[in-house]
Structure 1
Amino acid sequence: MNFLKFILPSLFVFLSFSSFAQLTLAEKQILDKYFASDYPLMKFSETMDETMRDYSFKAAVYCKNHPPFPKLLNNGFSQDDVENYNKKVNEWVRTHGHQYPAFIEYHKYGKTGRTLEDDINAYENAKEEWIKSHPAEFKEMESIIKKMESKYFIPAILPDDFPVFIDTGNEMRDLEKYDEEVGKWKKRNKGYENINIFRVSYSKLKN
């Protein structure tokens, strides 16, 4: 995936429980190296329904091609359970472990019977395995991982008229002004009035 294709005028959109964070252009280029090329982007359309239909389709395809990190089944935690789990982990690492594990909501777009907690645990375990087997790459990714810790995000392509965060040096005032402009944008666009994913990360595109 070429993240540079949607840096201008696009922004990273984080889920509603994430806090404000910034990624530099250099960090976005690093993400481009290690994320799967088919990781789904949310491309905003005229209506939220159309946006979610498009994203849901791409997310379902991604989930089908990129299974989640294995889950240890509790059957008394016998030796067989552990051995089977280790085999599944080794197979997952062999086929999917070369890419940094991107968070995605499998419980919505992939396997049934999963929960958000399952998805977060799978992401954390996959990340731990990737760091262990890619120490050199981890050094390159470390600053990004720290910024993204607990920020399970959805990269998104936003409309050209979506407000841009302007940094004047007064973070509190800048965020209030930005949230005010986003509120106006949501009112102008049918279907987006009540959605709560618009605290975004904006980079000034400098290393």
Structure 2
Amino acid sequence: MSARMLGHPAITRSGPPGPHRTLVQEPPPRRPGTPPREGEFVRPLTRRQVDDRMGELGELYTRTTSCESGILDPSDQDSGIAFQQRLAGLVRRPGFELLVAEAVDASGATVISACAYGFPVRGPELWWQGLDGYLPETLSRLTSSGKLFAVADILVERRVRTHDQSRDWNLARRLQKRLLADHTGALGVTLVDRDDADTYRALLSWGWRRLPAGARRASLFDSRCLLVLG
């Protein structure tokens, strides 16, 4: 799972205004804790739209999981292809949902700036990332009623995980809330790698929580930990 958000670079044209030049003042920086003037537009994609925009989603994955320098290497490209293959498999699952956040870039084009996706968990879906090995019995019972929703990934830029994480308008919070909105009373679940401390902290800052001690007997050999939302 990843966590970053695209910026919105301002366009500033310098030089004296004239008949063929327009002076555009760069807006003042946003104060910490204040919502952006124009937030990203969040909407669902149909399965066909996911297929049509798979290349863009792969680029988003590569961009949000590459090193901080922004310099891509062949392994980044390979991981983007692997992501598309995983997503192509998940999109066929019953109840699969994918949300994108769209923003207008400096050229005026609409681009995908973030996404989140998941699916209701039922008995046969417990194989997903070994989920059956992490769910306590109390949560396993929810699978029969469709009240468990696996949030497979949240792809946002780094600013989302480091700025205003507790605000309702934080992009990651908006995406995860919208995913669960159509499943009244559903509990969100996700798995995070134990060695991915950055993502773990980000998820906790967005309202995810670990189950109380004793809800499931932890093992030293577990490679992931279960987080819940709702």
Normalising to structure 1: TM-score of the pair? 0.27
Report which structure shows greater RCO (CA 8 Å, sep ≥6). 1
Q: Which has the higher strand share?
A: 2
| Structure label with greater radius of gyration | 2
Normalising to structure 2: TM-score of the pair? 0.26
